[in-house]
Amino acid sequence: MRIDVLTLFPEMFTGVFGSSILKKAAEKESVSYHLTNFRDFSANKHKTVDDYPYGGGAGMVLKPQPIFDAVSHVRKESVESRVILLCPQGERFNQRKAEELAKEDHLIFICGHYEGYDERIREQIVTDEISIGDFVLTGGELAAMVIIDSVVRLLPGVLGNEHSALEDSFSTGLLEHPHYTRPADFRGMKVPDILLSGNHSKIEEWRLNESLKRTKDRRPDLYENYINAQKEKNRTE
């Protein structure tokens, strides 16, 4: 997978792309990262990328020309690209979206600043508008980092255990079950006996029940969706 990030602050990504799983994924050549400062594509002699909004109002708006030209430049090697606009007005990001994007060969992220984007950017070059939550950030860089991290870890061969991503919270529709490791007794707090039994079918049953219980308590919306999906599945079988 190739990932291009269009940003006014490429230095923000250096530590993220050079650490942990994202670094290992690049070393395994599962992904390549490319940072582009779209200010470099400004046709204005002062290299400005924003201007006042028509009709008045607070804040500045990103101009279309630098972003159009920057996207055209990074698309040269891959015409079939998903162009993702980080925006609080976008689709709420979730695990299903991460799984969808992980199947792509080329992702382009546009990180905005200021008051917003010229609408022609949305209309002509963007394939996806994504928000990571109902709040506003200074810019799109942190949102891009979150999405890239969640996508790259799903690429084949990136995680040491291929089953890890399949069992993550949200991948199954439920929150993940509790985990324990050694020692079995830590300051009087003991690991559930079932996990020490060696009975794998009983362990899987316990984990499912714990996932159901945790999801019902913490995310009743997910629990209801899961139960309804199971009912629908049983009706069609």
Q: How many domains does the chain have?
A: 2
Cβ-proximal residues to 152 (8 Å cutoff; 6+ apart), any chain: 1, 3, 21, 22, 25, 30, 31, 102, 158
Among candidate residues 88, 100, 176, 219, the one labeled active-site is 88
pLDDT of residue 169: 64
Please check whether residues 139 and 204 belong to one and the same domain: no
Q: What are phi and psi of 128, to 5 degrees?
A: -140, 135
Structural domain boundaries enclosing 64: 2-152
Place of tokens 């400005």: 48
Does 113 score more than 90 pLDDT? no
Average pLDDT, the chain: 94
Residue 164 domain-assigned?
A: no
Same domain (yes/no): 128, 229:
no
| Mean pLDDT, rounded, for 103-113 | 95
What average pLDDT does the segment 77-92 reach? 89
**Which residue out of 149, 168, 176, 210 is catalytically annotated?**
168
Please state the separation of Cα 22 from the chain's center in Å: 13
Query: Which pLDDT band, with edges at 50, 70 and 90, does 196 fall under?
Result: very high
Q: Is 166 within the bounds of a domain?
A: no
Q: Residues 18-36: what's their mean pLDDT?
A: 98
Residue 167's pLDDT is what?
62
Instruction: Please tell me whether residues 72 and 181 are part of one structural domain.
Output: no
Residue numbering of the annotated binding site: 112, 132-137
Q: Is 192 a catalytic residue?
A: no
Q: Would you say residue 160 lies in a domain? A: no
Is residue 225 one of the residues assigned to a domain?
yes
Instruction: Write out pLDDT tens, residues 142-184.
Output: 999 999 999 999 999 999 766 566 666 677 889 999 999 999 9
Same domain, 144 and 183: no
CA atoms within 13 A on the CB side of 69: 13
β partners of residue 82: 107
Residues 90-100, mean pLDDT to the nearest whole number? 96
User: Which residue do the tokens 């290299």 mark?
Assistant: 47
Contact (Cβ atoms closer than 8 angstroms) between residue 5 and residue 144: yes
Q: Which of 115, 129, 176, 210 is catalytic?
A: 115
Residue 209 has pLDDT above 60, yes or no: yes
Separation between Cα atoms, residue 235 and residue 29, nearest integer Å: 44
Active site residue 168: yes
Q: Which of 50, 118, 141, 153 is catalytic?
A: 153
Tell me: the pLDDT tens digits for 119-138? 999 999 999 999 999 999 99
From CA 151, how far away is CA 51, in angstroms rounded? Answer: 33
165 in any annotated domain: no
Residues 202 and 136 in one domain: no
Query: Do 126 and 177 sit in the same domain of this protein?
Result: no
- Residue-level pLDDT at 104: 96
Using the 3D structure, point to which of 152, 182, 210 is the last residue of a domain. 152
**Binding residue numbers for S-adenosyl-L-methionine:** 112, 132-137
pLDDT above 70: percentage of residues in the chain:
95
Mean pLDDT of 187-197: 97
10 carries an active-site annotation = no
Are 147 and 195 contained in the same domain?
no
Identify whether 2 is a catalytic site residue.
Answer: no
d(CA 223, CA 215) in angstroms, rounded, equals 6
Indicate which CATH number applies to the domain containing 201.
Answer: 1.10.1270.20
Decide which of 26 and 77 is more confident: 26
CATH number of residue 140's parent domain: 3.40.1280.10
Residues 187, 145 within the same domain: no
What is the pTM assigned to this prediction? 0.89
Q: Are 74 and 36 in contact (CB under 8 A)?
A: yes
- Pair (135, 42) in one structural domain: yes
Within 10 Å of residue 116's Cβ, how many Cβ atoms? Answer: 19
State whether 148 and 176 are in the same domain.
no
- Please tell me whether residues 125 and 201 are part of one structural domain: no
